[in-house]
Amino acid sequence: MAGRTNWIYWGRLYDSKFQAGCLVKRMENDWWIYGYECPSEIEVFQSKRGKYGVRYMP
């Protein structure tokens, strides 16, 4: 499994894609403002039950 990285999932699901998208923007801004290393990729995903979540790759 060389070169394979795993997603890290945020610990909460949201009712709307908009809410999850707001979290993505907040995460991007926090990393930029506080000088943390930003993940290579952040995305909104939909669960099997229709809720939305956020996952990222370090």
Q: Is residue 33 part of a domain?
A: yes
Contacts of 23 (CB under 8 A, 6+ apart): 10, 14, 54
Classify residue 53: in a domain, yes or no.
Answer: no
* pLDDT for position 52: 98
* Domain around 23: 9-45
Q: Would you state the pLDDT for residue 53?
A: 97
What are 10-44's pLDDT values in tens digits? 999 999 999 999 999 988 888 777 777 778 889 99
Question: Is residue 29 domain-resident?
Answer: yes
Residue 47 pLDDT exceeds 80: yes
Residue 2 reports pLDDT greater than 80: no
Q: What is the pLDDT of residue 45?
A: 97
